[in-house]
Amino acid sequence: MAEPIAFWTLAVLLVGSALAVVLSKNLFHSVLWLALALTGTAGVFLLLDAEFLAAVQLLLYAGGIVTIVVFAIVVTQRLVGERLSHTSRRIAGGAVVSAAIAALVINAIARQPLATTRPPMTGDLTRTIGESVLTRFVLPFELLAVLMLAAMLGAVYFARPED
Amino acid sequence: MSLQAYLILAAIVFGIGLFGVITRRNTIGILLGIELMLNAVNINLVAFARFGGSEIGMIFTVFAICITVAEAAMGLAIVILLFRTRRTVMADHLDLLKG
pLDDT at A85: 61
Task: Sort out which chain B residues have CB atoms less than 8 A from A9's CB and list them.
Answer: none
pLDDT at A41: 93
Pick A114's closest partner by Cβ from B4, B29, B50: B4
How far the first Cα of chain B sits from its last, in Å, is 52
Q: Does residue A92 have a pLDDT over 60? A: yes
Q: Poorest-confidence range of A44-53, B53-62, B81-90?
A: B81-90
The letter for the amino acid at A9 is T
Tell me how far apart the alpha carbons of residues B10 and B13 are, in angstroms, rounded to a whole number.
5
Greatest mean pLDDT among A11-25, A52-66, A80-94 lies in A11-25
How sure is the predictor about A83, in pLDDT bands with cuts at 50, 70 and 90? Answer: low
Q: Do A95 and B19 touch (CB under 8 A)?
A: yes
Q: What is the pLDDT of residues A103-123, one digit of tens each?
A: 999 999 888 888 777 777 777
CB–CB of B66 and A60 under 8 A? yes
For residue A81, what pLDDT is reported?
47
Mean pLDDT rounded to a whole number for chain B: 87
What are the boundaries of each domain within chain B? 3-88
Which segment of A44-58, A74-88, A139-153 scores lowest on mean pLDDT? A74-88
**A68 shares contact with chain B (CB less than 8 Å):** yes
| Distance, CA of A41 to CA of A8 (rounded, Å) | 13
Residue A66 is predicted with a pLDDT of 86
Which residues from B are below 8 Å from A125, CB to CB? 55, 58
| Boundary residue ending a domain (A30, A64, A88) | A88
Examine residue A47 and state whether it is found in any structural domain, yes or no: yes
Residues A83 and A135 in one domain: no
Residues 129-158 in A contacting B (C-alpha not used; CB under 8 Å): 129, 132-133, 137, 140, 144, 147-148, 150-152, 154-155, 158
Strand-pair partners of B26 = B90
Closest CA to A55 of B90, B65, B6, B9: B65
A6 and A84 assigned to the same domain: yes
Q: What is the pTM of this model?
A: 0.88
Flag whether A102 is in a domain: no
Mark which residues 70-89 of A lie under 8 Å from B by CB: 71-73, 75-77, 86-89
Q: Are residues A127 and A82 in the same domain?
A: no
DSSP character for A123? Answer: S
User: Per mean pLDDT, which range of A23-27, A82-86, B25-29 is the poorest?
Assistant: A82-86
Do residues A62 and A133 share a domain? no
Give residue A142's domain range: 122-163
Asked if pLDDT for residue A149 goes beyond 90, the answer is yes
Q: At which of A88, A107, A138 does a domain end?
A: A88
What interface predicted TM-score (ipTM) does this complex get? 0.89
Q: Specify the range with the lowest mean pLDDT, choosing from A116-125, B10-19, B52-61.
A: A116-125
**CATH number for the domain including A39?**
1.20.120.1200
Residue A60 within a domain: yes
Same domain, A84 and A158: no
| Buried b or exposed e, range A72-108, using 16+ CB within 10 angstroms | bbeebbeeeeeebebebeeeeebeebbeeebeebbee
Q: Does residue A143 fall inside a structural domain? A: yes
Please, which pLDDT band fits residue A146 given cuts at 50, 70 and 90? very high
Q: Confirm whether A32 is domain-assigned.
A: yes
CATH class of domain segment(s) B3-88: mainly alpha
**What is the nearest CA distance from B72 to chain A, expressed in angstroms?**
7
Tally of structural domains, chain A: 2
Residue A141 lies in a domain: yes
Confidence band for A140, pLDDT divided at 50, 70 and 90: very high
- Measured between CB atoms, which of A34, A53, A105 is closest to B35? A34
Q: What is the mean pLDDT of residues B26-39?
A: 90
Looking at chain B, the whole-number percentage of residues with pLDDT higher than 90 is 35
